[in-house]
Amino acid sequence: MRTALRTIALTVAGAALAAVPARAELILFREGLVVKATGYRVVGDELEIELPGGGGYRVDLERVDRILDDEVEVAPTIELPRSEGDGVLYDLSYKRDRKPLFSTPYDPVIEAEARRYNVDASLVSAVIRAESASNPRSVSRKGARGLMQLMPSTARRLGVRRPFDPQSNVQGGVRYLRELVERFEGRPDLVLAAYNAGENAVESYGGVPPYRETVEYVRRILSWWTPAEQRPGADPTTSRDRSVSR
């Protein structure tokens, strides 16, 4: 089937957003609260938040879902290859012939967990490269940990007790990707955006949020990874390689 380039225009609700960086961060809490901060730092199991105008406070790090740079793009675009026709046209399920992309020591773990949760192993490897450059001891200044950079709140929800253990971390991260594939009906751009910015942000904006960090994250992964096209009549959220035993 011929393929054509699909350009997804991201519509920003409300007034036009300035392209100049705001030099602040957005703290996204699991309960849906969003706080604009001028700075932050991880102190043990807490996050110390600095507020505009001075002052601040500390919160339990497990309450924090995401931390994003408060920078936006005006009318950003994400380009995806898609075949002719309408509807969801990508299959993010596990396929035996779609291997991890970067030949790391963690490829067997990626393969096993991708198969377990029915997620494209090449997608998993691309996310790991973007998140931690395949460093299992990686800790971001935001407090995210391990190969797939799970925040403590996300790790706890997914049952990941050892975030620096490659198998445990990847199992949690791939399980989370499976949740996102189902929630966003196999849309590669939305799955990646939600992994970076959170599901609530994607649903609030009705697409990829215009955060510069998120847009660049999605573009970077799509420059490495090409999602498989959906077979006619297949469900992109549940399709599975028939050669894989269950």
Predicted local distance difference test score (pLDDT) of residue 232: 63
Is 71 a domain residue? no
Is 145 a domain residue? yes
Predicted local distance difference test score (pLDDT) of residue 52: 86
Instruction: Determine the structural domain holding residue 169 and report its residue range.
Output: 87-229
Is 109 a domain residue? yes
Active site residue 62: no
CATH number at residue 114: 1.10.530.10
Is 36 a domain residue? no
Kindly name the residue from 25, 73, 111, 131 that is annotated as catalytic: 131
Is 11 a domain residue? no
Predicted local distance difference test score (pLDDT) of residue 240: 56
- Count of domains for the chain: 1
Please return the burial class of 60, using the count of CB atoms within 10 Å of its CB with bins 0-12, 13-18 and 19+: exposed
pLDDT tens-digit profile, the chain (246 residues): 333 333 333 333 332 333 334 457 888 888 778 888 988 888 888 899 999 888 898 999 888 888 887 767 655 567 676 544 455 579 999 999 999 999 999 999 999 999 999 999 999 999 999 999 999 999 998 889 999 999 998 999 999 999 999 999 999 999 999 999 999 999 999 999 999 998 988 998 899 988 888 999 999 999 999 999 877 666 555 655 533 333
Is 12 a domain residue? no
Is 148 a domain residue? yes
Is 30 a domain residue? no
Q: 143: Cβ–Cβ under 8 A, 6 or more apart, which residues? A: 42, 47, 61, 64, 67, 151, 152
Predicted local distance difference test score (pLDDT) of residue 54: 85
- What are the φ and ψ backbone dihedral angles of 225, each rounded to 5 degrees? -120, 130
